[in-house]
Amino acid sequence: MNRRSKNLLERTLAVFVVLTIGVHSCSVRPAAAQSKQPFPRKPIKVVVYMKAGGLIDVTSRKFVEIASKYDEATFVVENKPGAGGIVAMNSVLNQPADGHTLFAVTKSNIAKFVSSGCDSAVESFHWLALLMRDPECIITNKLSDTPDFKSLVANAKSLPGQQNWLGPATGGLDHIFALKTWNALGVDAKWIPHDNGGQAVAALLGQQGVAYVGNPRETLGKTELQIAAVSAAERLPQFPNAPTLRELGVAGLHQENMWRGFAIKGGTPTPIIEWYKQIIDQVTSDPDWRNYWESGGIEVVHWQGDRFRDVVRKDREEFRTYLSELKIISSADEKRGFNFSSGVGLTATMVAFSLICVVFSMIYASIRDVPIGEGLIPSFIVALAVLFWMQTSTFPSEGSDIGAKSLPRIYAMSIFVLVGFVLLGRRAKPTSERYARFSSAFPSVVGSLLLYPLVASNLGFYLATAIFLVVVMKSLRVTNWKVTCFMVGGWLLIAYGFFYRLLFVQLPLGKLWES
Amino acid sequence: MELFDLLFDGFTLILGWQPLMIVVMGVTFGIFVGAMPGLSPSMGVALLVPFTYSMDPMTAIILLAAVYLAADYGGSITAVTINAPGTPAAAVTAFDGFPLTQQGKPGVGLGVSLIASTVGGTIGTILLICFSGPLAKLALSFHPAEYFAIAIFGLTSVGSVGGNHWAKAILMAVFGLLLNTIGIDPISGVTRFSFGITELYDGFLLIPVLIGLFAVSEVLTQIQKGQLDKVEIDTSRSRWPSIREYLSLSPTIISSSVIGTIIGVFPGAGATIASFVSYDVSKRFSRTPERFGKGAPQGVAAAEAANSSSVGGALVPLLTLGIPGSASTAVLIGALMVHDVVPGPQLFQSNSDLIYGLFASLLVANLVLLILGIFGSRVWIRICSVPKPFLYPLVLSVAFVGSFAVRNSLFDVFTCFGFGILGWYLRRHRYPVVPIVLGMVLGSIVETNFRKAVLMEGYTVFIERPMCLTILLVSIGSVLVPILVSKRKRITS
């Protein structure tokens, strides 16, 4: 590159850096200015742990819609799915306790916290408001041989352990309710989990099971389904024909429900908590809000602070008990073998993995008389299969289910056999062009690629992208820097306007600027 | 006749400037969302839900359905032009679509995908209108054993997508199946192979893996080889296929549309599986199967027709049973609930104008898609003319945004780039990458339905259920028969 284009490159890079810093500066206000302004000082983020369309998502959006009648504050619903709520929880706890981030939470999250070993996180939140309670119920198919509760129980007693009860995930709220019901009735049945409630309902409509555990509003619009029993103190006004478990002689199960509410990071200042109390009071008293939920049999409440916290703690203890019984979590005195997730375990795993890769590569290369690099692929896959096989020894054994370990072991065994075929198979004829040469740009492009996300997390997407694009284009011997500026600037504008502003993709702003 | 009367009434409701504008807006937005890797149709639908609060239910559902329909097509644009599928289903379109671009014929790829999408979407809608009741009953009758059998049939298409070395192809498919076991086991609730990493509780997400294995690995391969010359767009003949070429593809388009609609009806099956299965079926029945994977228009047509027709299929359980057939229809249910509309069989009686207005709007949306696609393709073709030293870095940055957008996580970006480097290395050593995608797409369906079926009725269920047994035998036959035929040919020759 000649001196002139080198100067132009440096100037171009400098312009982009200055511009990008300017953009960041506009979006980050000085702390002093922020602290003097009343709450809220910026849009309030409502973090929802499910994808859009789920009931907690609908709840949050409905709340935002009705809250706008009572306050000018801007609420933005942000969907952060992943790990049953752990990703959303971590996202909320990573924000400052300034009241601008709410966590839309359900009872299912508590189950997930317990099963993932994060149950101590319950104490990191201020439990702001429990907004509604959706009673658990047992739903049957009118056209089946067990259309009502009485026939359901009689069938369960005549076929112990044979009945299929349908619902969402194993270890979730609905499964726990089913377990409690079986215990109360003195029967045994099988829980058949599905990806979501909709699929389980479809299975019930197809008579693949005798009962579905869910909420009353899930029968709306489905004429073949009926509520065999509902967990409530009294019959629901919206479903007057649905008997309660108490009426049917089942004691102790009249308050099983799915609740939904909001939590906020612990340590949020009291005036902000009071602000939320007021607006939540207004929303929960709003006729639109109440009618919307009560028409589906949902009880609208507003339980705050300590009362909500006590509910959460009680649920946490209950989940600890039942999830241990289901062997989803190990009890205190049960050992599950080597801990692959601990610091030592992870290090040992990485070392073992690397050793297997190296040794197998060498064996492969010597048998097939090829470079060691070619042996890396089958050895990587074999090492992974060995590692996964070893970890399956820590999984609990199941009863009637073939278990979490079976198919991974079958896949691992298949890999060993298939690698054998590859190892002993016909060799491709060596040619002078068997492997294409590396261009000089390749190492710098790969290096830039690996650094790109790291730089983006610290300096922000826009600055990192500007640097990345210029560096990679330079590696590819681009000399027309006007076109480069145009391309880079145009892409940054599209990313900002389309992804960030229009589609609300929260492109990273960079830890350096956020702090 | 009553059906026609109701449909006619539906058309009268939407043939005004306002509803038509809504359809055009929805289709336009849907195409953009679908084209962007990382932005799924369900995300596009979800983003517009808040904007529909002030609309009446009819307008709201028309808008959201148009987005859903168009986004499924949109994914094929980036699949064909830069080998970065905008949606998982578009990955199958990329098998033949991108090679066409590499051969200087992006117009053929884009043209075939557009027509196949439009026709497929229309056929899917017609089947929805005429047969929603029987299709819903078919969906309900499917046992987990049958889902398992269909997934096994889908896996047999590894032969279609795996290239010449069968052991390497199957090894890659099993590798994909193994990767798919990472995360929380849906049956027992046990967390598997996450090594304490929170983001791995859900396993590797499909979209970052797709973008990495397809787009990033392709860019790295081209850069490594130093192949940065501009692709010459073939302008010696018409940029688009001729009418005759389209007509020659009509059997493929029609059969794939039917397959796509039927598979789309089953909750949890979806457009991706529909695309894989119809691609495999088309290849098996094609007179020139050797062209598949190297730029066969038939491959593009099969994938896109199935992809778009599955939209109509997914609406069947939504409208007739109130059950979401896909992630996008789950959002639609939420949107309907916000408008106090409860989907289910009673909707056909109580809100027939809403239902038939929706049907009419889907037919109109397909026409709008065709018109916008014809004009838009001139722009998309220009992308292929961008010099590679500019295009490739931009593709890598698009990959960043696309993989980040799935759940706003840098972990997915690392996943994307990691799989990109892995994909490059695999291709360098002549291992096919597509079977990995096949394994990851079908892995959870295979495992969960196998275990559910065994849990419900024991191991003998796979033999006792006639449909399951038939599908399994067809799957085994589809693998063994070509092997036996080719061995016999070798012996006789």
B411-424 residue pLDDT tens: 999 999 999 999 99
Residues 209 to 268 of B: which have CB under 8 A from any A CB?
Answer: 216, 220, 223-226, 228, 267-268
CB pair distance less than 8 Å for B456 and A209: yes
For residue A431, pLDDT over 60 is answered with no
Give B335's contacts in chain A (Cβ within 8 Å). 53
For residue A18, pLDDT over 60 is answered with no
Please name the member of A86, A190, A477 whose beta carbon is closest to the beta carbon of B198.
Answer: A86
Mean pLDDT, chain B, integer = 86
For residue B231, pLDDT over 60 is answered with no
Please name which of A137, A216, A198 lies closest in space to residue A173, comparing C-alpha atoms.
A137
Rounded Cα distance between A304 and B196, Å, is 34
Residues 35 to 94 of A: which have CB under 8 A from any B CB?
Answer: 51-55, 57-58, 61-62, 65, 77-84, 86-87, 90
Q: What is the mean pLDDT of residues A343-355?
A: 77
- pLDDT on residue B116: 95
For residue A32, pLDDT over 50 is answered with no
pLDDT in tens, B18-34: 888 999 999 999 998 88
Rounded Cα distance between B22 and B55, Å, is 11
Percent of chain B with pLDDT over 70: 95
Rounded Cα distance between A54 and B348, Å, is 24
Query: Token pair for residue A178?
Result: 């089913």
Least confident of A77-81, A456-460, B427-431: A77-81
SS3 B306: helix
pLDDT in tens, A127-158: 999 999 999 999 999 999 999 999 999 999 99
- pLDDT on residue B317: 84
Biggest CA pair distance of chain A: 90
Please name which of A93, A499, A359, A244 lies closest in space to residue B36, comparing C-alpha atoms.
A499
For residue A25, pLDDT over 60 is answered with no
The H or E element spanning position B421 is helix B410-428
Tokens 């904007």 sit on residue: B51
Rounded Cα distance between A424 and A420, Å, is 6
Report yes or no: A431 at the B interface, CB cutoff 8 Å: no
Q: What is the mean pLDDT of residues A475-494?
A: 89
Query: Token pair for residue A459?
Result: 């300096």
Rounded Cα distance between B233 and B239, Å, is 9
Please count the CA atoms within 13 angstroms of the CA of A311 that sit on its side-chain side.
25
- pLDDT on residue B160: 65
Residue of A407, A409, A452, A462 to mutate, testing the B interface (most B Cβ within 10 Å of its Cβ): A407
Tokens 């032009």 sit on residue: B81
For residue A433, pLDDT over 50 is answered with no
Please name the member of A223, A388, A395 whose beta carbon is closest to the beta carbon of B346.
Answer: A223
Query: Token pair for residue B127?
Result: 């089947």
Give B171's contacts in chain A (Cβ within 8 Å). 378, 381, 415, 418-419, 421-422
Give A469's contacts in chain B (Cβ within 8 Å). 393-394, 397
Please name which of B297, B190, B196 lies closest in space to residue A328, comparing C-alpha atoms.
B190
- How many residues are present in chain B? 493
Pick B481 or A150 by higher pLDDT: A150
- pLDDT on residue B204: 93
SS3 A164: strand
User: Which letter, b or e, does each residue of B64-86 get, where b requires 16 or more Cβ atoms within 10 Å of its Cβ?
Assistant: bbbbbbbbbbbbbbbbbbbbbbb
Report yes or no: B383 at the A interface, CB cutoff 8 Å: no
Nearest-Cα distance to chain A for B354, in Å, is: 15
- Give the chain B residue whose CA is nearest to the CA of A323: B189
Report yes or no: A169 at the B interface, CB cutoff 8 Å: yes
Kind of pairing between the strands at A257-265 and A101-106: antiparallel
Report yes or no: B191 at the A interface, CB cutoff 8 Å: yes
Using only C-alpha atoms, chain A has a radius of gyration, in whole angstroms, of 29
B250 Cβ contact partners less than 8 Å away, ≥ 6 residues apart? none
Rounded Cα distance between B141 and B139, Å, is 5
pLDDT in tens, B93-145: 999 999 998 888 888 999 999 999 999 999 999 999 888 888 888 888 889 99
CB pair distance less than 8 Å for B181 and A373: no
Give B220's contacts in chain A (Cβ within 8 Å). 442, 445-446, 449
Cβ A123 vs Cβ A287: under 8 Å:
no
pLDDT in tens, A462-477: 999 999 999 999 999 8
Mean pLDDT, chain A, integer = 84
Rounded Cα distance between A427 and B89, Å, is 35
Kind of pairing between the strands at A75-79 and A299-304: unpaired
Q: What is the mean pLDDT of residues A491-495?
A: 91
CB pair distance less than 8 Å for B189 and A171: yes
- Give the chain B residue whose CA is nearest to the CA of A494: B398
**ipTM of predicted assembly, 2 dp:** 0.85
pLDDT in tens, A234-256: 999 889 999 999 999 998 898 89
**How buried is B245 (Cβ within 10 angstroms: 0-12 exposed, 13-18 middle, 19+ buried)?**
middle
Nearest-Cα distance to chain B for A154, in Å, is: 19
Kind of pairing between the strands at A44-48 and A101-106: parallel
Please tell me whether the peptide bond between B289 and the residue prior to it is cis, using omega within 30 degrees of 0.
no
Report yes or no: A407 at the B interface, CB cutoff 8 Å: yes
Kind of pairing between the strands at A75-79 and A44-48: parallel
Helices B217-225 and B388-405, interaxial angle, to 10°? 160
Rounded Cα distance between A106 and A103, Å, is 10
Rounded Cα distance between A204 and A202, Å, is 5
For residue A65, pLDDT over 50 is answered with yes
For residue B235, pLDDT over 70 is answered with no
Give B198's contacts in chain A (Cβ within 8 Å). 82-83, 86-87, 90, 116
Rounded Cα distance between A440 and B83, Å, is 24
Cα–Cα distances in angstroms (integers) from residue B353 to residues A401, B5, B53, B356, in the given order? 47, 11, 20, 5
CB pair distance less than 8 Å for A396 and B190: yes
Residues 351 to 370 of B: which have CB under 8 A from any A CB?
Answer: none
Pick A436 or A199 by higher pLDDT: A199
Please name which of B38, B89, B78 lies closest in space to residue B205, comparing C-alpha atoms.
B38
- pLDDT on residue B378: 79
Cα–Cα distances in angstroms (integers) from residue A164 to residues A196, A207, B75, B116, B457, in the given order? 16, 10, 40, 42, 9
Considering the entire predicted model, what is its pTM? 0.85
- How many residues are present in chain A? 515
Please name the member of B330, B426, B428 whose beta carbon is closest to the beta carbon of A198.
Answer: B330
SS3 A300: strand
Please name which of B110, B42, B114 lies closest in space to residue B82, comparing C-alpha atoms.
B110
Rounded Cα distance between A63 and A57, Å, is 10
- Give the chain B residue whose CA is nearest to the CA of A371: B429
Query: Token pair for residue A444?
Result: 């710098």
Read off φ and ψ for residue A187, nearest 5 degrees: -120, 170
Q: What is the dihedral of CA B62, B64, B70, B76, to 10 degrees?
A: -160
CB pair distance less than 8 Å for B392 and A457: no
Please name which of B122, B130, B10, B128 lies closest in space to residue B367, comparing C-alpha atoms.
B122
Residues 120 to 139 of B: which have CB under 8 A from any A CB?
Answer: 139
For residue A34, pLDDT over 50 is answered with no
User: Which letter, b or e, does each residue of A389-399 get, where b requires 16 or more Cβ atoms within 10 Å of its Cβ?
Assistant: bebbebbbebe
- pLDDT on residue A1: 47
